C-alpha cells in the first residue's frame, strides 16, 4: 500500500529522481549515478571486483524539524526535512573530475523540480565536502545535505 506519510513520500520522490541520473536521460547528465541509489544503507557497499556497486548515491534522512506554525483552522505546520547524501566512487585515473560531475548531476536532478511534484515548497542545498581512501583502488566520497521544506496540517502529517 502506498505510504500516506508526507516525509516518506518526499523520500520516495527523492530516490526516484536520483534514479533518473543516467547519461541516457533527456535532462543530460554526465554520469550513471542513478544506477546505484540507496536509502538508509545499513551494509557496506561492494567494490571487490566480484560485485561493484560504485559509483553509488546513499541517501539518509536524518532530521525533521518544525520551523513555523501558521494560525488557521486547522493550523498549518511547516517542517524542514534534512537528507544527508553521500556519493562514493572509485573513479580510476579521472579521480576528482568524475566525482565533481556526479555532484553536479545530483544537484541538476534536484533542480528539475525542487518541489518534488508539489510535495514540498522548496529544496535547499548545503555545502559539500570530499573524503578519500586508497586500497586496491582509490575511493573518493563526496557528502552533503539537502533540506526539503514542506507543509502539513499540525498534528496530522498524512
Partner 1 sequence: MAIDFPNEELLADLGVDAIYTNPAGGRSDIKVLFDRGYSQSQVGSTDVDNMAPSASCLSTDVASADISATLEVDEVVYKILSIQPDGEGMTYLVLSKE
Contact between 32 and partner 1 per CB under 8 A: no
Site string for partner 1, 84-113 (x = CB under 8 A): x-x-x-x-xx--------------------
- C-beta separation of 147 from 85 below 8 A: no
Contact between 44 and partner 1 per CB under 8 A: yes
The C-alpha atoms of residue 145 and residue 67 are separated, in whole angstroms, by 17
**Residues with Cβ within 8 Å of residue 134, at least 6 apart in sequence:** none
**In the complex, what is the shortest distance from the CB of residue 9 to partner 1, in angstroms, rounded to a whole number?**
25
The C-alpha atoms of residue 126 and residue 128 are separated, in whole angstroms, by 7
Contact between 4 and partner 1 per CB under 8 A: no
- CB-hemisphere CA count at 13 Å for 37? 20
Of 26 and 92, the one with the shorter C-beta distance to partner 1 is 92
Which residues contribute to the site for partner 1 (CB under 8 A)?
41, 43-49, 54, 56, 58, 60, 84, 86, 88, 90, 92-93, 131-143
Amino acid at each position: 500500500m502506498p505510504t500516506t506519510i508526507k516525509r516518506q513520500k518526499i523520500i520516495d520522490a527523492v530516490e526516484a529522481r536520483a534514479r533518473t541520473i543516467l547519461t541516457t536521460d533527456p535532462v543530460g547528465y554526465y554520469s550513471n549515478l542513478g544506477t546505484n541509489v540507496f536509502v538508509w544503507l545499513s551494509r557496506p557497499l561492494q567494490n571487490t571486483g566480484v560485485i561493484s556497486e560504485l559509483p553509488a548515491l546513499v541517501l539518509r534522512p536524518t532530521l525533521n524539524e518544525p520551523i513555523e506554525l501558521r494560525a488557521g483552522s486547522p493550523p498549518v505546520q511547516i517542517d524542514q526535512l534534512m537528507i544527508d547524501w553521500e556519493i562514493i566512487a572509485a573513479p580510476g585515473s579521472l579521480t576528482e573530475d568524475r566525482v565533481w560531475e556526479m555532484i553536479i548531476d545530483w544537484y541538476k536532478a534536484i533542480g528539475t523540480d525542487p518541489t518534488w511534484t508539489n510535495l514540498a515548497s522548496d529544496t535547499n542545498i548545503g555545502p559539500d565536502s570530499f573524503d578519500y581512501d586508497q586500497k586496491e583502488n582509490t575511493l573518493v566520497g563526496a557528502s552533503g545535505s539537502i533540506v526539503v521544506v514542506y507543509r502539513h496540517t499540525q498534528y496530522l502529517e498524512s
